[in-house]
Amino acid sequence: MTSKRFAVAVACLLFASSSSAATVTGDPEAGADTATGTPCQSCHGSDGNSPSAEWPKLAGQNVNYLKKQLQDYKSGARMNAIMSSMAANLSDKDIANLAVYYSNQTITEGNTPEQYLELGQKVYRQGNKESGVPACIACHGPAGQGNPAASWPRLSDQHAAYVENQLKSYRDGDRSNGPNQMMQGVAKKMTDEEITAVSHYVSGLQAAH
């Protein structure tokens, strides 16, 4: 393991340790009532599988990651005109309920077009030593399941266009709520071609495992 990849792995482990105290106290039935009785379903679908790639699939996402993102929208740590207004009226209990509900749903299967497979797989599994891009697998795992305890998100089966948009937002400084600015640092070293390829790769990653 290279020193750069080792450093990323250690950082992930340390963050996981510091986040492991987070407990899930949400009620999935209450979460279902909130999800289906509010504008949530308009963008994300009643079961968390958004019909449009503009919005992320929430089904099957890690609970702690979902909670953190909703809390960040509410606090202003992550900005989006629609989501900030939606989260503003959510209580901590509402957030926990929604997170558990969506996490319990089954995500629809994604796919990887052939033209993105080679480069996407290389970036995800090996990174780019020349530019200093670490391997995505170090934090997000071989099957793209993320790290629930550390609040690292699941990437597998996510809409490719959404993943691409978020990587570019990290790179351009439009999103900055990642821990220790890690994703901003990674994305800034990635080319547009690498971002597009790895986004499509993770969309179909789960199907291969």
Is 1 annotated to bind ligand? no
Task: Give the integer Cα–Cα distance in Å for 22 and 149.
Answer: 8
Q: What is the DSSP string of 146-196?
A: -BTTTTBPP-TT--HHHHHHHHHHHHHTS---SGGGHHHHHHTT--HHHHH
Helices (runs of H) and strands (runs of E) counted in the chain: 11, 0
Is 183 annotated to bind ligand? yes
Task: Give the integer Cα–Cα distance in Å for 37 and 33.
Answer: 6
- What the block records as the tokens of 121 is 């797989």
**What are the backbone angles phi and psi of residue 57, rounded to the nearest 5°?**
-75, 130
Is 209 annotated to bind ligand? no
Burial of 99 (0-12, 13-18, 19+ CB in 10 A): buried
Query: Which residues are documented as binding site for heme c?
Result: 40, 43-44, 83, 136, 139-140, 183
Query: Which residues are documented as binding site?
Result: 40, 43-44, 83, 136, 139-140, 183
